[in-house]
Structure 1
């Protein structure tokens, strides 16, 4: 194999590939990226056996072939090369070495046989559709903060994507929860997505998707089966196993009768929560919200370190209410609001609280209160 690639294109490919590769591997080949060159296309394939990414770039292929080389080492080399450099990758197929030449720099890396590299089995995808990258990014970005990190409840360690009934008809919906907070985000259901099986997309896959969905207008081709999900653009194909488990009935958690309505400037609210929680020795300590006629008082009382209080002018016309929340959860939910105002709907100090962006019901958040 002998190929030449422009440094920035190679860096982009290797950034995507090496982020899938785990830093510590008991199987040596999984630390490598498979480089395949044919025609005028060079592909870089990496996997951790649960996720596989294939990144294709155009380059000059002098001699077709394939090899595998340490993903993190190659990425670091390319990252440190000067901008605009042409990078030549070559091996003679016998020495178990990949030579890398760029200008006056040259490197030689150990390789492993391409035959040892595991390629993810293709799945019979039952549902195929396309959706704009911007739509998918909103669905996953706004829900991922609520993914659980508790390994015992593995079925909550991802985002549940499915077709559902929304206020204005069928929607493509993403839901995540860790039992303390929940995010439910809707988007118009794409054509051919009506028979989408509900799948739980793992946390790591959701993180990798961010790099794939950077161009809002690009169409992403999705293929879904009971066990796998695939996201594809002309350059990148990301295939992932889905979490084998049943996502709980989240609809029972979303309160329907909360009538006490608070409307507040989202950024002002987030900044105030951040300020008052500074005196708390633990980030998980409750922030108390005291609501009265058009007035909100945020307070923290930490006996070991001090106390803080801040008052905000808000829109609230119901009876007085005192309720406590985890400061971190409030900040994360307030951080999802793209519009100017956040609307909180309360029932009582012991019941789940609903939050949405203005009157937009396509993004709904639920947070459990804390005792204060």
Structure 2
């Protein structure tokens, strides 16, 4: 195998594929990237056995076809540190010989591992196929992934649940995530071809890798899936992932139906006040208390060691016409939700101990549920 490629082209492709490689693993081949020089150009593949990223690399001059593997992190770092305008030549004569990297007067030799040991994750039938605009996929991810659970014992919550359903008489593609303390539910119009898709739980690591790749895409993203695997095609990049083998809970049960006390508050004023008041405590779980009265909101927090803080909001930034209520929430959870809201936050309360619904007045397709804390 021998080919020549611009440093910028190779670096971009290596950045995409090597990020799925686990730095610590017990299987040496999983630390490597598979390089395949073919008549049509170069293909790079990396996997951790749960996710595989494959990229077709343009602008490569192949002088000898072939395949080999090389340490992904080392190759990426070498390429990253080369001059921006460098032309890179990679040469592997075959067999057990080392992979030679040349760029100008720089020369490096990398150990390789047998291609036969490199696992394949991209095989198998994926019968359900549809396409989703990149912007819609980014919205579904951004508005839900903060609520993904990190508790490994409840592994079925360690991802985003995507499924087809109906809302208000319309068919939608819905994304849901919850960690038991908060829930995020967001939906987009159901794309053609998705109506028969099974409900699937996409793992947290896959969600994060997909979101990074989707940042560079403006067109539609092709999606193919089965009960156990999903594949996203983003231009020259394919991301294939196993799905979480578990049953997502019946989340509709935890969405309260009778919350009739409505508080509307300007997002910017509210988020800044939460940040200032919560600054009195270094404890991540310290609650911020909301004391709500007619068109008035008092936010307060206290720490036994550091003191207390409060801030009042009223006038043109607060709207509330119901009986007074006091309720507490973890500051970080409040911030995570308000980060998803553009202008006006709408809280729907029942009482001080019941789950609260939070919505964005401008985007009713997004709904959040937040469990209160004792204050």
TM-score band, normalised by shorter chain? over 0.9
- 1:29 maps onto 2:29 in alignment: yes
- 1:355 maps onto 2:358 in alignment: yes
Q: Matched residues in 1 for 2:96 and 2:230: separation?
A: 38
Q: Matched residues in 1 for 2:77 and 2:169: separation?
A: 49
Residues 132 and 216, structure 1, Cα contact 8 Å, conserved in 2: no
Q: Matched residues in 2 for 1:251 and 1:70: separation?
A: 46
Residues 262 and 349, structure 2, Cα contact 8 Å, conserved in 1: yes
Range with greater deviation from structure 2 (345-354 or 118-127): 118-127
Q: Which runs of 5+ in 1 are unaligned?
A: none
Q: Matched residues in 1 for 2:61 and 2:212: separation?
A: 25
Q: Matched residues in 2 for 1:126 and 1:60: separation?
A: 36
- 1:368 maps onto 2:371 in alignment: yes
Shift in alpha-carbon separation, 1:340–1:121, aligned structure 2, 3 A: closer
How far did residue 300 of structure 1 move? 0.3
SS in 2 for 1:223: strand
Equivalence for 2:335 = 331
Q: Matched residues in 2 for 1:233 and 1:163: separation?
A: 22
> Deviations for 1:250-273, whole angstroms, at most 9, x for unmatched residues?
001111211111111112211111
How far did residue 106 of structure 1 move? 1.5
Residues 133 and 215, structure 1, Cα contact 8 Å, conserved in 2: no
Q: Which structure 1 residue ranges, 4+ long, deviate > 4 Å from structure 2?
A: none
Q: Matched residues in 2 for 1:206 and 1:307: separation?
A: 39
Equivalence for 1:123 = 124
Equivalence for 1:320 = 324
> Deviations for 1:307-338, whole angstroms, at most 9, x for unmatched residues?
0001112111111110000111001011111x
Residues 281 and 304, structure 1, Cα contact 8 Å, conserved in 2: no
- 1:181 maps onto 2:182 in alignment: yes
Superposition pairs of residues 41-56 of structure 1, within 5 angstroms:
41-56=41-56
Equivalence for 1:133 = 134
- 1:250 maps onto 2:254 in alignment: no
> Deviations for 1:170-191, whole angstroms, at most 9, x for unmatched residues?
1001000000000001001000
Residues 134 and 215, structure 1, Cα contact 8 Å, conserved in 2: no
Superposition pairs of residues 1-372 of structure 1, within 5 angstroms:
1-58=1-58, 59-215=60-216, 217-313=218-314, 314-337=318-341, 339-372=342-375
SS in 2 for 1:111: coil
> Deviations for 1:111-144, whole angstroms, at most 9, x for unmatched residues?
0111110011522212101111111111011100
Q: Matched residues in 2 for 1:162 and 1:249: separation?
A: 12
Q: Matched residues in 1 for 2:49 and 2:361: separation?
A: 42
Range with greater deviation from structure 2 (115-124 or 308-317): 115-124
SS in 2 for 1:288: strand
Taking only aligned residues, the RMSD between alpha carbons, in angstroms, comes to 1.1
SS in 2 for 1:279: coil
Q: Matched residues in 1 for 2:297 and 2:190: separation?
A: 38
SS in 1 for 2:112: strand
TM-score by length of 1: 0.98
Q: Matched residues in 1 for 2:272 and 2:55: separation?
A: 40
Q: Matched residues in 2 for 1:131 and 1:341: separation?
A: 28
How far did residue 6 of structure 1 move? 1.2
TM-score by length of 2: 0.97
SS in 2 for 1:20: coil
Q: Which runs of 5+ in 2 are unaligned?
A: none
Q: Matched residues in 2 for 1:123 and 1:256: separation?
A: 42
Q: Matched residues in 1 for 2:257 and 2:363: separation?
A: 16
Q: Matched residues in 2 for 1:94 and 1:124: separation?
A: 33
